[in-house]
Amino acid sequence: MNVLDKIVQTKKEEVAYQKSVISIDDLIRSSHFERECYSVSQNLLQAAPYGIISEFKRQSPSKGVINDKVDVAEVSKGYCQAGASAISILTDKDYFGGSIEDLQRAKKHMTCPVLRKDFVVDEFQIYETKAIGADLMLLIAAILTRDEIVKFTDLAHKLGLEVLLEIHNEDEFNDGYYEAVDILGVNNRDLKLFRTTIQNSIDLAKILPAEQLKISESGISSTKEMDILAAEGYKGFLIGEQFMKHSDPAHELKKFMETQLAKG
């Protein structure tokens, strides 16, 4: 069993427990449920020359602890102030050290759109995503059937959420792509071996629909790499470790943004 399989197995057990203690009706009655969500896709389209979704991530299965010393609310607020198009917050506890509480705390201190980064395996999590204050949800093609991707996307849109569909290879695109998703993300990290290369985004760009809003995720460490990927049709980038490995992640994002502005 590879790491991804273990994560999915754990997630299904976690969701089963959550469903035993809280109902979808309870989630619908939450204070956040009637709010209008912010649009990450519009922020990315309006960003020049491209947008950045900056991520708060304490740890990962491949890297171990990245940064467990900084406060999620302070970092997320700083990301917004530095010019991020959206903030990604990991809510998986067992493998990434995150929590739903992290997202809820951060949401109180910022106006940027928020991506809930987690492993969605059940429609319960979609209601939960809206209830905790997120604006964009992640669907991972590697762990879902196309029928599930269609069902989950349509439900998310019904609730006012946007959807980021993440793929890692051509097979996942061919088997799982749904035209209705708001953003298509190409993850440069192999989730089975956890190797990373931006060449993955470059290669896949040749087969992806030109009209689809696309972002590249993982392994991006310089504005030079972003320029290369932007030329391939990517309008945004999800970057976490590059910022989080520093004592002041928001300051690192600010330097990235200043470099972009300097280029005009």
| CATH code for the domain of 249 | 3.20.20.70
Asked whether the whole model's pTM tops 0.75, one would answer: yes
Question: Mean of the per-residue pLDDT values for the chain?
Answer: 94
Instruction: Note the pLDDT of residue 190.
Output: 74
Give me the catalytic one of 218, 225, 235, 241.
218
Give me the catalytic one of 14, 172, 217, 225.
217
The yes-or-no verdict on residue 126 having pLDDT over 90 is yes
- Tell me what the mean pLDDT of segment 137-145 comes to: 97
- Tell me what the mean pLDDT of segment 131-158 comes to: 97
Residue 217 a catalytic site member: yes
The yes-or-no verdict on residue 196 having pLDDT over 90 is no
Residue 55 a catalytic site member: yes
Give me the catalytic one of 55, 128, 162, 225.
55
Give me the catalytic one of 60, 67, 76, 187.
187
Residue 170 a catalytic site member: no
CA–chain centroid gap for 170, Å, is: 20
Measure the CA–CA gap between 38 and 87, rounded to whole angstroms.
Answer: 12
H-helix or E-strand containing 122?
Answer: none
Which of 100-104, 240-244, 258-262 is the least confident region? Answer: 258-262
What domain range includes position 17?
A: 3-262
Residue 195: pLDDT band (50, 70, 90) is confident
Residue 218 a catalytic site member: yes
Instruction: Note the pLDDT of residue 260.
Output: 66
Residue 90: pLDDT band (50, 70, 90) is very high
- Tell me what the mean pLDDT of segment 197-217 comes to: 96
The yes-or-no verdict on residue 1 having pLDDT over 90 is no
Give me the catalytic one of 77, 107, 117, 235.
117
Instruction: Note the pLDDT of residue 261.
Output: 58
The torsion of the CA quartet 99, 222, 48, 227, rounded to 10 degrees, works out to -130
Give me the catalytic one of 41, 43, 57, 162.
57
Q: What percent of the chain has pLDDT over 70?
A: 97
Structure confidence by residue, pLDDT tens digits, 24-80: 999 999 988 989 999 999 999 999 889 999 999 999 988 899 999 999 999 999 999
As for how many domains the chain has, the answer is 1
- Tell me what the mean pLDDT of segment 9-13 comes to: 97
Give me the catalytic one of 14, 128, 162, 166.
166
Residue 187 a catalytic site member: yes
Our CA angle for 218, 223, 226, nearest 5°, is 55
Burial of 230 per CB tally in 10 Å (0-12, 13-18, 19+): middle
Instruction: Note the pLDDT of residue 62.
Output: 82
Residue 57 a catalytic site member: yes
